[in-house]
Amino acid sequence: MRKSKLIILAWLLLLVPTLLLGVGALRLLQSEEARLQSSQQAAATDRVTAIAGNIDLAIAEVKDGLQATLQQMPQQQLASQLHRWKRENPLVRNVFIWQQGRGLLLPDPERPASDEEAAFIRRFLPLFADQSSWQAPEPDQQKLPAENNVLAERRELRLLAQRAPAPAKVAESYSSDIASSAPMMAETEIAEEPAQKQGETHWRSWYADDQLHLLGWFTPVNEQQRYGVEVEMMALLSRLLGNLPAQSSSESYALLNGNGKIFHQVGKREVSANDRPIAAVSMQNLPHWQVAAYSGKAAGGTGASIMLIGSLLIGTFIIAILLGGSLLLWQAWRNQRDASRKTSFVSNVSHELKTPLTTIRMYAELLGEGKIHEAEKQRRYLQTIIKESQRLTRLVNNVLDFSRLEQGRRNYQQEPLELKQLLQDLLESQQPRLRDADIRLDLQLPETACAVKSDRDALEQIILNLLDNAVKYAAVGEKIQLQLSCSDQQLTLRLRDWGPGIPSAHKQRIFDKFHRVDNSLTTRQQGSGLGLSIARQLAQGLGGELNYLPMQDGSCFELLLPREGAK
Ligand code: ADP
């Protein structure tokens, strides 16, 4: 008992630290994965912010350039100037002139020159019809990330660098004493360029037909009209795609449109709109559009594979440690069980041998002293001596068989036997025992002879072991039945008793060596737990089988033997 507690303790000592180690390692892996993911995300956010900034800046430059052209446009023949501009500049999709009170002058809403012009008028109809909507604020300006403030600074800086001196001031500086050709040049260039008009510039992002459109216009000071341009988005966007990294080793990048669909993507891995980006940044000049970065590996990427491999390794280690440890402990437990079984086997066998020996000696001494004169008594004593020496023989045979079977040295002497005869002879010799135990034997034999080729000793040993158990454990039933039936293929011998039977939990284990059912019945009877184990091994050695058939009342053991080669 103490030894099995020690084994459980050893197993717990193995299990608990191994599990703790496994849990610790998993947590470490998880935190490492989280760290890796967050640093990957931070780097990706930095990269997409830079890309989005560059695209924003490029669009801002395009807007500024278009506005500058609008401002410089001479008022005379404005319509034809705008038309020519539209024809020649791929970034210009449509142009318009709108006047307070008169509405749209160009293109003519009554007679649009093309389908494209008609579509343009339709697209911006709310704007051209409703004056208040001209002043509507740009959407989502406030929602943009703080990083895009950089954009405003960069734009301001560029405008500052582009600022040329006003013509009047240039003339003033020329009249000063400083002799230089530079102001002269400036004056000449400025004089040649069309003068920039004073007024207000505006841009509107416009969603129509599920698409983003950019409309810019100029409102000269003190004038009732505004004229402007619709940007050719495809021409603009296709020229912006160069801002996405040409070939990225680990990540994929995509430009997502206002509906979250992929407009363009670069990178080794093909991403779809359903993939979750590791970072996404919006742009000021392309409302609702985003630049997104995706992990180079599908679903989970590097982190997931590290986690998977790590978990597999940890799992393998834990299983290996637990399996190895369990195997060692199981072996230790078996050794301990075998050792204690052998000890009880030796003491049981010694005890079983001692009892008949004591009886034989006692009766032999009585007879030897010549004190018993009655012939009847002498006969009874002699019979007891014979009975006990038979029991001794059976016991010694069992022990011998056991050791031979254990070492694989049991040889079977096959000889032709008539089983009916063998049974009758054997049971005849057992009658006194059965009478002493008050057990009636019901022998049921087939009418025809039952020839078989088998080992006589082994067969007798099997039957005697079964009979021994019936006498030891089932005497209360007062009756046993031995039934033999023969078919062409096999012989079936059933020994049935009406004793207490065998608990179902033990019905297989009773054939294990040294196994005894742990109950009061077994405690009362001497035994070593070898009888059934030997009987089954012998039956199998003869090419047959020994089974236990559970009964409602009592037990039944069934011996099956093959008949081939019997004749
Ligand atoms: P042993 O009789 O020496 O204990 P066996 O291997 O012959 O060993 O039997 C194993 C156990 O099976 C016995 O200890 C007994 O508990 C149980 N057993 C065997 N035969 C019977 C039977 N006919 N009725 C009830 N229990 C039995």
Tell me which of 223, 241, 259 is where a domain ends: 241
**Which of 399, 532, 534 for a ligand 1 pocket mutation test, highest count of atoms within 8 Å of Cβ?**
532
| pLDDT on residue 417 | 93
| pLDDT on residue 514 | 83
Q: What percent of the chain has pLDDT over 70?
A: 86
Rounded to the nearest angstrom, the distance between the alpha carbon of 542 and the centre of ligand 1 is: 22
In which band, very low, low, confident or very high, does the pLDDT at 555 lie, cut at 50, 70 and 90?
very high
Does the residue 66 lie in any domain?
yes
Burial class (CB in 10 A: 0-12, 13-18, 19+), 269: middle
The answer to whether the CB of 441 falls within 8 A of the CB of 427 is: yes
- Supply the pTM of this predicted model: 0.50
Structure tokens at 481: 């039945």
How far lies 353's CA from each of 87, 230, 460, 464, 524, in Å? 123, 116, 20, 17, 17
| pLDDT on residue 345 | 77
Q: Show the domain range for 473.
A: 411-562
Count of structural domains, the chain = 2
| pLDDT on residue 2 | 66
Residue 179 has pLDDT above 50, yes or no: no
The answer to whether the CB of 120 falls within 8 A of the CB of 104 is: no
Rounded to the nearest angstrom, the distance between the alpha carbon of 225 and the centre of ligand 1 is: 116
Residue showing tokens 């600074």: 153
The answer to whether the CB of 199 falls within 8 A of the CB of 223 is: yes
Atom of ligand 1 nearest to the CA of 521: 16
Torsion of CA 114, 119, 120, 125, to 10 degrees: 130
pLDDT (tens digit, 9 = 90+) per residue, 343-379? 877 887 887 788 889 889 999 999 999 888 899 989 9
Rounded to the nearest angstrom, the distance between the alpha carbon of 515 and the centre of ligand 1 is: 9
Rounded to the nearest angstrom, the distance between the alpha carbon of 387 and the centre of ligand 1 is: 21
Rounded to the nearest angstrom, the distance between the alpha carbon of 481 and the centre of ligand 1 is: 17
Domain harbouring 509, CATH code = 3.30.565.10
Residue 177 has pLDDT above 50, yes or no: no
Q: In terms of Cα–Cα distance, which of 537, 298, 308, 502 is closest to 403?
A: 537
Rounded to the nearest angstrom, the distance between the alpha carbon of 469 and the centre of ligand 1 is: 6
Does the residue 382 lie in any domain?
no
Residue 138 has pLDDT above 60, yes or no: no
Residue 295 has pLDDT above 80, yes or no: yes
Atom of ligand 1 nearest to the CA of 506: 12
pLDDT (tens digit, 9 = 90+) per residue, 423-462? 999 998 888 889 888 999 999 999 998 999 999 999 999 9
Atom of ligand 1 nearest to the CA of 554: 24
Q: Which of 26-35, 70-79, 151-160 has the lowest mean pLDDT?
A: 151-160
| pLDDT on residue 131 | 58
Rounded to the nearest angstrom, the distance between the alpha carbon of 527 and the centre of ligand 1 is: 8
| pLDDT on residue 298 | 60
Structure tokens at 301: 């990427």
**Which of 401, 516, 552 for a ligand 1 pocket mutation test, highest count of atoms within 8 Å of Cβ?**
516
Q: What is the mean pLDDT of residues 319-327?
A: 87
- Which residue type occupies 375? A
Rounded to the nearest angstrom, the distance between the alpha carbon of 113 and the centre of ligand 1 is: 111
Burial class (CB in 10 A: 0-12, 13-18, 19+), 199: middle
Nearest CA to ligand 1 atom 21: 469
Instruction: Please report the DSSP string for 478-530 in residue order.
Output: -EEEEEEEE-SSEEEEEEEE-SS---GGGTTGGGSTT----SHHHHHS---S-
State the SS3 of 170-220: HHHHHHCCCCCCHHHHHHHHHHHCCCCCCEEEEEEEEEECCEEEEEEEEEE
Does the residue 112 lie in any domain?
yes
| pLDDT on residue 191 | 41
> Which residues does 476 contact at the CB level (< 8 Å), separation at least 6?
498, 499, 500
Rounded to the nearest angstrom, the distance between the alpha carbon of 138 and the centre of ligand 1 is: 96
Rounded to the nearest angstrom, the distance between the alpha carbon of 529 and the centre of ligand 1 is: 7
Q: What percent of the chain has pLDDT over 90?
A: 39
Residue 564 has pLDDT above 80, yes or no: no
Q: In terms of Cα–Cα distance, which of 54, 56, 70, 87 is closest to 232?
A: 87
What's the CA gap between 76 and 436, in Å, rounded? 143
In which band, very low, low, confident or very high, does the pLDDT at 172 lie, cut at 50, 70 and 90?
very low
Structure tokens at 102: 């008169």
Q: Give the pocket of ligand 1 (CB within 6 Å).
A: 469-470, 473-474, 497, 499-500, 502, 510, 516-517, 522, 527-533, 555
Residue 506 has pLDDT above 80, yes or no: yes
**Which of 510, 512, 534, 556 for a ligand 1 pocket mutation test, highest count of atoms within 8 Å of Cβ?**
510
Report long-range pairs for 265-270 (Cβ below 8 Å, ≥24 apart). Answer: 267/294, 267/296, 268/296, 269/294, 269/295, 269/296, 269/297, 269/298
227: phi then psi, degrees, rounded to nearest 5:
-135, 150
Atom of ligand 1 nearest to the CA of 528: 3
Bridge-partner residues for 220, per DSSP? 199
How far lies 536's CA from each of 21, 453, 473, 480, 511, in Å? 47, 18, 19, 20, 7
pLDDT (tens digit, 9 = 90+) per residue, 206-226? 888 889 999 999 999 878 889
524: phi then psi, degrees, rounded to nearest 5:
-70, -30
Q: In terms of Cα–Cα distance, which of 545, 433, 532, 434 is closest to 490?
A: 545
Atom of ligand 1 nearest to the CA of 499: 24
Residue 144 has pLDDT above 70, yes or no: no
Q: 391 in helix, strand or coil?
A: helix
Q: In terms of Cα–Cα distance, which of 411, 359, 366, 422 is closest to 390?
A: 359
Does the residue 181 lie in any domain?
yes
